[in-house]
Chains A and B, each alone.
Chain A
Amino acid sequence: MAVIEQKKTGLNSSTIWNQLSETELRIDSQDKEMALRVLNNTPMPTTRTEAWKYTRVSKLGKIEFSNQGAQLTSIDKYIIDESGTRLVFINGHLSEEFSSEEFQDELNITLLSQGEELAPSILNLDDEIFHSLNTAFLTDGVQIEIADNANVERTIQIIHILKGESVISNFKTIIKAGKSSQANIIQGFFAEGEGKSNFCNSTSEIFVGENAALTVDKVQYENESTFHISTEQVQQEKNSVFTINTSTLNGGLVRNNINIDVNGENCVSHMNGVYLLKNKQHVDNHTVMNHKVAHCDSHELYKGVIDDKATAVFNGKVYVRPDAQKINAFQSNGNVLLSDDASVYSKPELEIYADDVKCSHGSTTGQLDEEAIFYLQARGLSKKSAHKLMVSAFIGEALDMTKNENARAFIDNLLLERFGWDF
């Protein structure tokens, strides 16, 4: 036991945060206290921690991270939707130069570093070392309020760029979609050049008001030595529709937590994801769909193609709480392995405490059908294009969930750039 105790306290001085200074942002004092307590008392998760069973984060504890701003000459290649407005953050600091000057009238945008004291966080801080790290050492953040009844036509992009080496960005996004509002928000995560060991530790708190329809498209294209851990904590009120599409196309170690709490009846929630991995990439998608009330639907679709020595993890959890009757919850995860060194860990879970529900999940792992490839080759396609066609057919279903045409075109471009796939 003594040895374990020592380890626990030994992590006190983990290098993740000993180079950083506590945040100057006015976050809720109780949250801050709690976050510091968690950081001091909780060891780094190991593969013995159920939530991190397949993802090793011990490397993170060995890097001396720091945070400072950086300059870029151009961000053109990071603009996902030309027609929309954008907020650009470099290493977690706002870049006024590249951000839009004017925003949609229906929006009220405030930087957390300039706003009033923050309300208590809806994130779970207890035992969550990365949430606590984010809270205690928050670099900056942005709050976007969408007015009631607003139909925001142009998209709002939040573009994050990491530049430098061993840079950590602890960023928080708060989105409040007012009653009966409608909007599309795009979050892009990028890394400039070959900067090594950068760490994007981001959290989002998303409130979807009554009758609102909010879509978040998340595009991840950092480099292969970047760490990325992000959490979306979502609260849905009655009659609302929330959609989140995650496209993970590049990144070293990526962990996405998406937790949706449905608080009101007649809600629909969609979670879709695409992950395409190669080399030694590791992508871990953890989702929690929490049905607290009756008469709701949820749909979840995650598809991935894994090549080389890459590893993909999917853990989807659906809770149906007592008395949350008439729930339809569907979850599906499909994986294609292209190499013998690639691995997949899939863990779709259901926890159901009500009876009048229809819940199902499915998970498949396989490879491209040799016969189908032969069929295509027999018709004059090269092996490479046959593969391409098959892969596109496989992940197309999930890619098509990104309805924003500009974002979709941007993703297709990235696929061409990284994999040589032109769908």
Chain B
Amino acid sequence: MSAYTEEELAKDLEGQEYKFGFTTDIKSDQAPKGLNEDIIRFISAKKEEPEWMLQNRLEAFAIWKEMKEPDWAHVKYEKPNFQDIIYYSAPNQTKKYESWDDVDPEMKETMKKLGISMEEQKRLTGTNVAVDFVMDSVSVATSFKSKLKELGIIFCSFSEAVQDHPELVREHMGTVVPTKDNFYAALNSAVFTDGSFCYIPKGVRCPMELSTYFRINEGGTGQFERTLVVADEGSYVSYLEGCTAPQRDENQLHAAVVELVAKDNAEIKYSTVQNWYPGDKNGLGGIFNFVTKRGICGYRSKISWTQVETGSAVTWKYPSCILKGDYSVGEFYSVAVTNNYQQADTGTKMIHLGKNTKSTIISKGISAGESHNSYRGLVQINKNAHNARNFSQCDSLLMNDTCGAHTFPYIECKNSSAKIEHEATTSKIGEDQIFYCLQRGISEEKAIGLIVNGYCKEVLNQLPMEFAVEAQKLLSISLEGSVG
């Protein structure tokens, strides 16, 4: 982190509003607008899916039709018109890429702009990152596949997994987030187009970070991806996810489902840097980010969610852990930044079922502009979760007097041996702190950057190195000009 100096940061900040706002001019293959059984059959056919998958989708669609869009979150937005969305859009590709060189130059350019320079990474040895790149609806490139294969690790796009490893997909898909779980999970189960699949075999420690990069490129489309990570007994994996989208006046819908399965003694670390287009200064456009993320823990296993949320017009996201196995551990570290007219309602659910389970929640919210940032979390200690332990800390920082910061924790305890602590604070940056910095010759803008960084440190420290730098940059960009 030390390599990244303040001068560089300042340079990065100059004139940057949303640096990923470009569109890539790639011809794409699209489904007609709207949602009906035919579209689902179309998607399934495009993906050459087996019959059981199609049946799953149709079942999910039937369930979805019966469900109502939830409105309990502390956000206001115009409900998306589900018939006005293109559910399938794929960069036009005739064949699968055999090697990196086959990739469309336009696409390579996109990746370069996004900072995913696979070519460069290919040359690197040591700490590597294997990347799966999902543009619009389909996965376009996965790197380091062969190297991972040697260890028995499967890391591929979801549709490939359906083709090549149907037994694994069938066994685990929908076990953590059932189709009926909620409105958007049901929608996703019906129309999901691609995503990533990852399987770590017994006792294997994945030697590199696995990473997925999601991008919405085409206008009028929705992105519905599905990620499934299965860590078999005694394995370890660190998984990263990044998201960007072009600048548009319309609201695009992103409704993903992420399922993590950590078997006995396994550990999954899942980090997200979410930077979907947040809309312009007047709140026009931006992505609706309605995501269901959940993990289930076996005996002595651990799932750790880390997220840096800076994008999206509306975020509605609660990465959760079901602590089913005894001695399992759930962690949630989050920094959510909202500026202008962004709205975020995010938090976590920790469901303690097993004995001696532990969970930690650290949530840091920063609101600026006219935005609203809410933490909503549930800590549930069930009857048999003896000696369960939870610690939650939710802090909110307010940058000016027009934004809002809210906390809605739900704490439910049904066991007398449980220990639960929850604390939350809301305040602004102290004038004395700024004054202290000013006195020492640090300008106000820099002082705020410094204080915000310190405030988020606990969470940023959890991120893998490469991401931590990016996250810090994002924080500064998101908050730029918001200091009043």
Q: Which positions in A face B, CB cutoff 8 Å?
A: 50, 54, 322-323, 325, 335, 337-340, 342-367
Are B409 and A322 closer than 8 Å at their CB atoms? no
Flag whether B405 is at the interface (Cβ < 8 A): yes
Q: Chain B interface (Cβ within 8 Å of chain A)?
A: 72, 74, 381, 383, 396, 398-428
Contact at A352–B423, with CB atoms within 8 Å?
Answer: no
C-alpha spacing A325/B398, complex, angstroms: 12
Determine which of B383, B409, B418, B425 lies in contact with A349 in the assembled complex, contact meaning CB atoms within 8 Å.
Answer: B409
In the complex formed, the residue of B with least CB distance to A340 is B416
Tell me which residues across on chain B come within 8 A of A367, comparing CB atoms.
416-419
CA distance A339 to B407 in the complex (A): 29
Q: Across the interface, do B383 and A340 meet the contact criterion of CB distance under 8 Å?
A: yes
B412 A357 Cβ-Cβ under 8 A:
no
Contact present for B411 and A365 (CB under 8 Å)? yes
CA distance A121 to B271 in the complex (A): 53
A356 touches B416 (CB 8 A): no
> A352 to B404, Cβ gap below 8 A?
yes
Contact of A351 among B72, B406, B410 (CB under 8 A): B406
- CB of A337 within 8 A of CB of B415, answer yes
Q: Across the interface, do B416 and A339 meet the contact criterion of CB distance under 8 Å?
A: yes
Contact in complex: A352, B383 (CB < 8 Å): no
Residues on the A chain within 8 Å of B427, using CB? 357-359
Tell me, rounded to whole Å, the shortest Cβ–Cβ distance linking B452 to chain A: 14
Nearest-CB distance from A419 to chain B (Å)? Answer: 17
Residue in contact with B422 in the complex, picked from A345, A351, A353, A363, CB distance below 8 Å:
A363
CA A351 to CA B422, docked complex, whole Å? 17
Contact yes or no, B406 A350, CB < 8 A: yes
Once the chains are docked, how many angstroms separate the CA of A372 from the CA of B271? Answer: 41
How many Å lie between the Cα of A181 and that of B410 in the bound state?
A: 40
Contact at B422–A364, with CB atoms within 8 Å? yes
On whether A353 and B411 interact (CB within 8 A), knowing A337-B416, A358-B427, A363-B422, the answer reads no
Residues from chain A with Cβ under 8 Å of B405 in the complex = 350, 352
A–B Cβ pairs within 8 angstroms, 13 of them: A343-B413, A345-B410, A346-B412, A346-B422, A348-B422, A349-B406, A349-B408, A351-B404, A351-B406, A356-B428, A357-B398, A358-B425, A364-B419
In the complex, which of the residues B396, B406, B422 has the most CB atoms of chain A within 10 Å of its own CB atom?
B422
Chain B residues with CB below 8 A from A343, complex form: 412-414
- Using A335-B413, A349-B408, A355-B428 as known contacts, say yes or no to A323 and B401 having CB atoms under 8 A apart: yes
Min CB gap A287→B, angstroms: 15
Check A344/B403 contact, CB under 8 A, given A339-B416, A360-B424, A362-B423.
no
Which of A345, A355, A356, A360 sits near B425, CB closer than 8 Å?
A: A360
Q: How many angstroms between the C-alpha atoms of A348 and B407 in the bound complex?
A: 8
B411 engages A354 (CB within 8 Å)? no
Q: Which residue of chain A has its CB nearest to the CB of B402?
A: A322
Query: Is the CB–CB distance between A361 and B412 below 8 Å?
Result: no
* A340-B383, A363-B411 given; A350·B416 CB < 8 A: no
Which has the most chain B C-beta neighbours within 10 Å: A54, A335, A355, A359?
A: A355
Would A362 and B398 be within 8 Å (CB), given that A345-B411, A347-B410, A349-B409 are in contact? Answer: no
Tell me which residues across on chain B come within 8 A of A355, comparing CB atoms. Answer: 398-401, 403, 428
A292–B418 Cα distance when bound, in Å, is 38
Residue of A323, A338, A351, A362 touching B416 (CB-CB under 8 A): A338
Interface centre among A349, A350, A351, A357 (most CB of B within 10 A): A350
A50–B70 Cα distance when bound, in Å, is: 13
CB-defined contacts of A359 to chain B, threshold 8 Å: 425-427
Closest to A336 in B: B416
B401 close to A354 (CB less than 8 A): yes
Complex alpha-carbon distance, A233 and B483, angstroms: 39
User: Chain B nearest CB: distance from A350 CB in Å?
Assistant: 4
On whether the beta carbons of A363 and B404 are closer than 8 Å, the reply is no
Which residue of the partner chain B has the closest CB to A350?
Answer: B407
Cβ A352 vs Cβ B406 within 8 A:
yes
Interface contact A50-B72, CB-CB below 8 Å: yes
| Contacting pair B413 A350 (CB below 8 A) | no
Q: Are A365 and B418 in contact (CB under 8 A)?
A: yes
Residues of chain A with a CB closer than 8 A to B415's CB:
337, 340
Question: In the complex, what distance in Å separates the CA atom of A322 from the CA atom of B401?
Answer: 7
Asked whether, in the complex, the Cβ of A347 is within 8 Å of the Cβ of B428, the reply is no
One of B401, B409, B412, B413 near A325 (C-beta < 8 A):
B401
9 closest A-B pairs by beta carbon, nearest first, are: A337-B416, A355-B398, A346-B411, A365-B420, A360-B425, A359-B426, A350-B407, A363-B422, A343-B414
For A342, the chain B residues whose CB sits under 8 A away are: 414, 416
Contacts of A354 in B (CB 8 A): 398, 401
- Give Cα distance in the complex from A309 to B80, angstroms: 45
Minimum CB–CB distance from B209 to chain A (whole Å) comes to 36
A345 adjacent to B409 (CB under 8 Å): no
> What separation, in Å, do the CA atoms of A365 and B410 have in the docked complex?
12
CB pair B413–A349 under 8 Å, yes or no, is no
Known: A352-B405, A353-B404. A365 touches B398 (CB 8 A): no
Q: Which residues of B contact A364 (CB under 8 A)?
A: 419-422
Interface centre among A339, A346, A347, A365 (most CB of B within 10 A): A365
Knowing A50-B72, A352-B398, A362-B422, the reply to whether A345 touches B412 (Cβ < 8 A) is: yes
The answer to whether A361 touches B420, judged by C-beta atoms less than 8 angstroms apart, is no
Contact B423 A360 (CB under 8 A): yes
Shortest distance in angstroms between A9's beta carbon and chain B's nearest beta carbon? 21
For the complex formed, measure the closest distance between the CB of B361 and the CB atoms of chain A, giving whole angstroms. 13
In the complex, are the beta carbons of A349 and B407 less than 8 A apart? Answer: yes
Distance of B337 from chain A, by nearest CB (Å): 15
Chain B residue with the shortest CB-CB distance to A356: B428
- A363: chain B residues within 8 A (beta carbon): 409, 411, 420-423
Measured between C-beta atoms, what is the minimum distance from B281 to chain A in Å? 19
Do A360 and B426 have beta carbons less than 8 Å apart?
yes
Chain A residues, Cβ within 8 Å of B409: 346-349, 363
A-side contacts of B424, CB under 8 Å: 348, 350, 360-362
Give the distance in Å from the alpha carbon of A358 to the alpha carbon of B423 in the complex.
13
| Alpha-carbon distance A232/B445, docked complex (angstroms) | 47
Which among B410, B411, B422, B426 has the greatest number of chain A C-beta atoms within 10 A? B426
Q: Taking A346-B413, A351-B404 as given, write out 15 further A-B residue pairs in contact, using a Cβ cutoff of 8 Å, ordered by the A residue number.
A: A337-B418, A342-B416, A344-B413, A346-B411, A350-B407, A353-B404, A355-B400, A355-B403, A357-B398, A358-B425, A360-B426, A361-B424, A362-B424, A363-B421, A365-B419
